[in-house]
Amino acid sequence: MDFARRDIILSAAALALSSAACGAGRPDRKLGYAIVGLGSYGLDVIIPQFANCTHSRLAAVVSGDPFKAKRVASEHGLPASAVYSYANFDSIRNNPDVDIVYVCLPNALHAEYTIRAAKAGKHVMCEKPMAVSVAECEAMIAACKTANRKLMIGYRCHFEAYNLEAMRLAHTGAAGKIRYVRSEHGFVQRDPSKWRLKRALSGGGSLMDMGIYSLQAARYMTGEEPIAVTARESTDRRDPRFTEVEDMIDWTLEFPSGAIAGCQSMYSANQNHILLMGDAGRIELEPATRYDGNQMWVGKDGRERAVTPPPGPGKTQFAGQLDHLVDCVRTGREPIVSGEEGLRDMRIVEAIYRSAREGRTIRLDGRA
């Protein structure tokens, strides 16, 4: 047996023993998440959601602020051994209480911590956007495959009741043949010091943040993959907020069926809207992708009837996505929003930027 083959077999055996030791196969045990990044999203949005989960629990926290990390751990009944810094993060491999690492860091750090988590033998949930380039996405997928660990992207709208019902209506022909989708997402980013406005951390501006919602909606409402994109950017570079990244960018996607999607993202206006129009009617959500308070209507040419989604499993969208990854770990199934889904988005994002930069349509289907 050559050394490379021996190392692969030994690594696989070690990972299998690690999973067995942490009890991932016991259905009565909630799987433990380590939250990497205690900013507002990780701390104020994700961590409180474990109270709504059936199969997931908080097991560890990772932060560059030791005082905050210790305080959060104490508030949630975690031992001192469940607190990690970015420097000692790799030692999380020795903690059998941690089954999954949830990366809630600035975009430019997603790849590094996903790869480190996989090498530590942990499954990974990574916030959107998956990374800042196609190359990073591919490296993340490869690392998780090598480690035989699951990789899921935090596309929460795939677990949100209104979006799920809108997808169902669209895909079952409630609006007829789909002709057009409009999706606009944005908010007013006022503070120039925020990491989202620093290219080194964000990888871009509104497209890399709110634009992901617009892009995802165009894809999941049509159920198709785009074949071409045409984009245009509008940014006031005199504004101190936008010296490094774009403010507003709009793009048009063409789909194989002939459907068109008009999408927009911005950091200088509030918008949260999805509209699908078919030859027999329309489906509209506004607000469409908020944490709560979303609304939906259907009609022939307007908001004729409000739609309330049917009763679901009683979980929030956040608890739904947390427990979904646990289910995939237990069953071996691929997450419905896997790393490959994040990679597909990033390929389109790179094409959007290229189209806006070069002022031309970019084909996504390999045609010249």
Catalytic residue among 102, 155, 213, 267: 213
Query: How do strand 248-254 and strand 296-299 relate by DSSP bridges?
Result: unpaired
CB atoms within 10 A of CB 227: 15
Closest among 158, 179, 147, 49 to 102, alpha carbons compared: 49
Catalytic residue among 30, 128, 150, 315: 128
Closest among 87, 108, 23, 9 to 57, alpha carbons compared: 23
Buried b (16+ CB within 10 A) or exposed e, 323-333: bbbbebbbeee
Q: Is 213 a catalytic residue?
A: yes
Distances (CA, A) of 344 to 118, 160, 313: 21, 21, 29
Termini Cα distance of the chain: 47
Containing 166, the helix (H) or strand (E) segment is helix 161-171
CA distance 124 to 340: 13
Q: Is 128 a catalytic residue?
A: yes
Q: How many residues in the chain?
A: 368
C-beta of residue 327 within 8 angstroms of C-beta of residue 333? yes
Hey, which residues are catalytic here? Answer: 128, 213
